[in-house]
Amino acid sequence: MSESKKALATFHVNGEPHEVAFAPHKTLLEVLREEMNLTGTKHGCELGECGTCTVQVDGVPILSCLSLAVDAVGKDVRTVEGLAQGSELTPLQHCMADLGAAQCGYCTPGVLMAADALLKHNAKPSRDDIKEALAGNLCRCTGYLKIFEAVELAAARMRGEKAEPSKESIYGS
Amino acid sequence: MLRLPTFTYHRPKTATEAVAIACQHGKAAMYVAGGTDLYPNMKRRHQTPTQVISLQDVPGLHSIDWLPDGRCAIGAMVKLSALEHDAKVKAAHPAFAHAVREISTPLLRNMGTIGGNLLLDTRCTYYDQTHEWRESIDFCMKKDGAICWVAPGSPRCWAVQSSDTVPLVCAMEAEVELVGLDGVRTIKAGDLYRDDGIQYLTKKPEELLTRLILPAPKGWKASYLKLRRRDTYDFPVLGVGACVWTDAAGTVTKANIRLGGAGSYAIPATASEKLLVGNKLTDELVAAAGSEAMKPARTMDNTDLDVYWRRKVAPVYVARALMACR
Ligand SMILES: Cc1cc2nc3c(=O)[nH]c(=O)nc-3n(C[C@H](O)[C@H](O)[C@H](O)COP(=O)(O)OP(=O)(O)OC[C@H]3O[C@@H](n4cnc5c(N)ncnc54)[C@H](O)[C@@H]3O)c2cc1C
Ligand code: SF4
Ligand code: FES
Ligand code: FES
């Protein structure tokens, strides 16, 4: 692809084809937000230092601010907009909301995409597994604890367990 | 938004084609693997290639191969996350798998490659800033300027070697395979680097790094220990790679210690190494070898954490790294 010339390509985002024209230096983050109006994916540092731009490409969580859009053509791109089925939130989204794991919410799309990828291949993650999977997602509000608890609760519910949040995580100790 | 400058994007299908494109465009061309070093640098206008050559379609760079003699040949494009989770690599080279796991964050390791990590740009507080930041105090000699802000009287740049794997693979005497116009050559990993913050590599710009070759895991033990502020994200401000060869009686026959994050290349702690050879790794010897590492740790005030403290803890980190080689 030559300099600043836009080329047309078809992206597969959240299971739907999107035909977009963009130049080779455009990041996946820019194309998602500015060409497809998928503004759920946030931009923070744009240098790999915060994780709020996390999306999944072929199931793997990566940073869209450091990926070229052209490299995502032909791949399965998932963004936060693709989690809920219609108006039905995923268990992870429910738990994040119920447990106060999203405060200002700016980190939340990235956290959701990283945690969703974890839960897809690890049905029973330990606290350490969750910490590790989210070690590239900064949150300046929650102090992380509520996020970890939300992921644990979601994992339990996804395993079919009748799990409820602990009293401490809702009312404090 | 911090945006990338414009460029023409190439995706060659062979190594020869990649090298040919790089030669054709000279300084205007750069290779890209995972882009986790190059793209931030381009966004901050440290590196502004108008021709970006992606190696993702070049065959032969994506596999981990075990050679008949027990060596492990890792393709340059193998992702860091693939390496850290590879059961065979973890079993045969635990120190290496650990060093890889210490790099950045899981999200970045899903993108970054081992080749890109070996060739990571050197870093400095006055350099790893946006174009506007650097312009406001006037540019330094690593990019666009004439002065070094860390050592204003210095004729050279002291930007810091910051890859986590480099000190270790140098200590392990691993090899790297390079492909250039004249074909393939294999050199010791240690010979890939030079003590200069700007020209930190000895390879020609168009030379492609194709494989990292780890020695057969026999007769030696290695370790890597990293100092940084946070347990994730942060580059090493001290990274000790150690490798110790012993005979059947446990006597050290050879020892390599390399200090990363302490200068523009992985600095050998020669005096510490000398103390070890011919002796057993007793607590006393390990402590003594550690003390000798303060001098070669030429820390400058151009990374995170206090410069004097970083030098002071070098002996502790070297001693701990040696303990892990027992
Ligand atoms: C927030 C953040 C934190 C980080 N923390 C760490 C850390 O703690 N430790 C650490 O070591 N690194 C860290 N990194 C740097 C980086 O993510 C890794 O070093 C990574 O391995 C680089 O690999 P890459 O494939 O992304 O390299 P790229 O950016 O693709 O390339 C890096 C350089 O190597 C050249 N290159 C790449 N592959 C080849 C090849 N095969 N042949 C010839 N030239 C090649 C490129 O031209 C470029 O100059 C961090 C980065 C970020 C953004
Ligand atoms: S060491 Fe000096 S010349 Fe090198 S990047 Fe830092 S300020 Fe610039
Ligand atoms: S915006 Fe991508 S990591 Fe911060
Ligand atoms: S909820 Fe505000 S940054 Fe995480």
The whole-chain average pLDDT of chain B stands at 97
pLDDT in tens, B121-145: 999 999 999 999 999 999 999 999 9
Which ligand is nearest the CA of A99, by number?
Answer: 4
Residue A3 has pLDDT above 90, yes or no: no
Which amino acid, residue B37? D
Q: What is the pLDDT of residue A169?
A: 81
The whole-chain average pLDDT of chain A stands at 95
**What's the CA gap between B161 and A79, in Å, rounded?**
35
Question: Which of A62, A66, A138 is the best mutation test for B, with the most CBs of B within 10 A?
Answer: A66
**What's the CA gap between A111 and A96, in Å, rounded?**
10
List CB contacts of A36: < 8 A, sequence separation 6 or more: A11, A13, A18, A20
pLDDT in tens, B282-325: 999 999 999 999 999 989 999 999 999 999 999 999 999 999 99
Whole-number percent of chain A with pLDDT over 70: 98
The pTM of the full predicted model, rounded to 2 decimals, is 0.97
Distance from CA of B260 to the nearest CA of A (A): 22
Chain B partners of A70 at a C-beta cutoff of 8 Å? Answer: 9
Chain B partners of A60 at a C-beta cutoff of 8 Å? Answer: 110
The secondary structure of chain B, three-state, reads CCCCCCCEEECCCCHHHHHHHHHHHHHHEEEECCCCCHHHHHHCCCCCCCEEEECCCCCCCCCEEECCCCCEEEECCCEHHHHHHCHHHHHHCHHHHHHHHCCCCHHHHCCCEHHHHHCCCCECCCCCCCHHHHHHHCCECCCCCCECCCCCCCCCCCCECCCCHHHHHHHCCCEEEEEECCEEEEEEHHHHECCCCCCCECCCCCCEEEEEEECCCCCEEEEEEEECCCCCCCCCCEEEEEEEEECCCCEEEEEEEEEECCCCCCEECHHHHHHHCCCECCHHHHHHHHHCCCCCCCCCCCCCCCHHHHHHHHHHHHHHHHHCCC
pLDDT in tens, B35-81: 999 999 999 999 999 999 999 999 999 999 999 999 999 999 999 99
pLDDT in tens, A28-62: 999 999 999 999 999 999 999 999 999 999 999 99
Quick check: B40 contacting A, CB < 8 Å?
A: yes
Residue-wise burial string across B87-101, b where 16 or more C-beta atoms lie within 10 A, e elsewhere:
eebbebbbbbbbbbb
A2: pLDDT confidence band, cut at 50, 70 and 90? confident
From A3, A67, A133, residue closest to B106, measured CB to CB: A133
Q: Is the CB of A44 under 6 A from ligand 3?
A: yes
Distance from CA of B110 to the nearest CA of A (A): 6
**What's the CA gap between A41 and A55, in Å, rounded?**
7
Q: What is the pLDDT of residue A16?
A: 96
Residue A4 has pLDDT above 90, yes or no: no
Going by their DSSP bridges, the two strands B51-54 and B29-32 should be labelled as: parallel
Question: Which of A4, A6, A25 is the best mutation test for B, with the most CBs of B within 10 A?
Answer: A25
Q: What is the pLDDT of residue A48?
A: 98
Residue A173 has pLDDT above 70, yes or no: no
CA of A44 to the centre of ligand 4 (A): 12
Ligand 1 atom 49, closest CA: B38
Which ligand is nearest the CA of B111, by number?
Answer: 1
Residue B13 has phi, psi (to 5 degrees) of -100, -10
Interface pTM (ipTM) of the complex? 0.96
CA of B15 to the centre of ligand 3 (A): 31
Q: What is the pLDDT of residue B124?
A: 98
A171: pLDDT confidence band, cut at 50, 70 and 90? confident
How many CB pairs lie under 8 A apart between chains A and B? 84
Structural contact between residues A10 and A72, judged by C-beta atoms closer than 8 angstroms: no
Distance from CA of A53 to the nearest CA of B (A): 11
pLDDT in tens, B212-257: 999 999 999 999 999 999 999 999 999 999 999 999 999 999 999 9
